[in-house]
Amino acid sequence: MRTTVGIIGAGPAGLLLARLLQNAGIGSVVLESRDRAYVERRQRAGILEQGTVDVLRAAGVGARMDREGIPHDGIELRFDRRRHRVDLPALTGGRSVMVYAQTEVCKDLIEDRLTGGGPLLFEAEALAVEGAETDSPRVRYRHEGREAVLECDYVVGCDGFWGVARTAIPDALSRTYERTYPFGWLGILADVAPSHDELVYARSDRGFALLSMRSPTVTRAYLQVPEGTDADDWADEEIWDELDRRLEVDDPGWRLARGPITAKSVTPMRSYVHEPMRHGRLFLAGDAAHIVPPTGAKGLNLAVGDVVTFARALAAHLDKGDPALLGTYSETCLRRVWQAERFSYAMTTMLHRAPDATAFDDRIQLARLDRVTTSRAAETDLAEAYTGFPF
């Protein structure tokens, strides 16, 4: 089989890239190692930046998002038993975010691909990327018990940290930057209406908590827990009790709504960047090149920025004979990546209490939060980053 662009991975990055290329008249084949059911049910990000929303609409795959997604014009910061709302549009010239889960984005893109797009092969495990330095790279993969080769003009690795794309870049050319955090997030889904109509980010002496949602009837919430925690070690009532403590404020009108917990898991926290994001005709996108702690809601949105950058660059090359944007793909993406890493790190260290935190550290955190909530300049910086950096 031969195509212009071989895409490894049918997460939101790979699927959206396939749609963008289709809109530009460029052929592609998508290989996904998992089955369709797995891709459509795995829980990941839930916040779409303004730019991501705009891209999905412009690509023609935003109709259900606009019907069922929940636009958010603000977030709430809680600390020292106080509440402060960050008005996103007022600080950013009208930009906001959308609550629409990554699972739903994938469902929309899969349905779109299967009904009107090119090949999408599930349970097709990429084994290796070969010939990245040549004009004809290829992907060896296994599908339906047989090995096969996908011949391409370009390969885009959207296959995550553990995929084969990143490892196809020689070690001698690679630079990696990483920070791990001594805590994770215990996340839950619960069949209960959200207790607040916007996301709540809470810093307390007991640790961080986040109150979010998946729909008007489903709550998504998180607790900071020690690294290596097993989700099953937490009973349901313990989780609700701890959320109550960490979200507590001097407001008698607010109450945490409790309900049946339907899922719980622990997400480790790390920051990671691989440079470069291009080697020959192999391009990395999304988690294959960078990982951010989820505090800044940047992971999915960074992946969208990567594939938008690649699609524009390839179209410019094929339509106008201009290879410049392909040549600067890595540098262009990394500028945005490092800004997202900066913001995610700042949010994480401002809101999470480290295991060895001192009284001085606690006061610095409170001072940073006080600055954000009393300085329009500082609050604007947060709002601009939260709603998204330009593609």
Residue 116 pLDDT > 90: no
The residues carrying an active-site annotation are 72, 201, 294, 298, 386
Estimate to the nearest angstrom the gap between the alpha carbon of 338 and the chain centroid: 14
> Would you place residue 152 in the very low, low, confident or very high pLDDT band (cuts 50, 70, 90)?
very high
What is the rounded distance in angstroms from the CA atom of residue 71 to the CA atom of residue 339?
Answer: 24
Per-domain residue ranges of the chain: 5-70+100-178+270-347, 182-269+356-387
> Would you place residue 391 in the very low, low, confident or very high pLDDT band (cuts 50, 70, 90)?
confident
Residues 6+ apart with CB under 8 A from 189: 43, 214, 218, 219, 220, 261, 262, 263, 264
Query: Do residues 325 and 312 lie in contact, with contact meaning Cβ atoms separated by under 8 Å?
Result: yes
Provide, rounded to the nearest whole percent, the portion of the chain with pLDDT above 90: 95
**C-alpha distances out from residue 34 to 112, 144, 219, Å:** 18, 12, 27
Q: Could you tell me which of 200, 176, 354 has the C-alpha nearest to residue 275? A: 176
**DSSP symbol at 234:** S
Residue-level pLDDT at 117: 79
Poorest-pLDDT segment among 140-144, 214-218, 314-318: 214-218
Residue-level pLDDT at 357: 96
How high is the mean pLDDT of the chain? 96
Q: Could you give the count of Cα atoms lying within 13 Å of 3 in the half-sphere of its Cβ?
A: 24
Q: What is the mean pLDDT of residues 349-374?
A: 97
Topology (CATH level 3) of domain 182-269+356-387: D-Amino Acid Oxidase; Chain A, domain 2 (3.30.9)
DSSP 135-202: SS-EEEEEETTEEEEEE-SEEEE-S-TTSHHHHTS-GGG-EEEEEEEEEEEEEEEESS--SSSSEEEE
pLDDT digits (tens, 9 = 90+) for 210-261: 999 999 999 999 999 999 999 999 999 999 999 999 999 998 889 999 999 9
Residue-level pLDDT at 41: 85
Sheet containing strand 138-143, strands side by side: 124-130, 138-143, 146-151
DSSP 316-346: HHHHH---HHHHTHHHHHHHHHHHHHHHHHH
Residue-level pLDDT at 133: 96
Provide, rounded to the nearest whole percent, the portion of the chain with pLDDT above 70: 100
**C-alpha distances out from residue 324 to 102, 316, 327, 337, 344, Å:** 32, 9, 5, 20, 30
User: Going by DSSP bridges, is the β-strand pair 154-157/218-226 parallel, antiparallel, or unpaired?
Assistant: unpaired
Q: Could you tell me which of 38, 60, 26 has the C-alpha nearest to residue 154? A: 26
Residue-level pLDDT at 156: 98
In degrees, to the nearest 5, what angle opens at C-alpha 192 toward C-alphas 256 and 265? Answer: 90
Residue-level pLDDT at 46: 84
Topology (CATH level 3) of domain 5-70+100-178+270-347: FAD/NAD(P)-binding domain (3.50.50)
Query: 0.85 cut: is pTM over it?
Result: yes
Report residue 345 as tokens.
């790190």
CA dihedral of 12, 305, 199, 85, whole degrees rounded to 10: -170
Query: Do residues 166 and 273 lie in contact, with contact meaning Cβ atoms separated by under 8 Å?
Result: no
Q: Could you tell me which of 80, 79, 77 has the C-alpha nearest to residue 88? A: 77
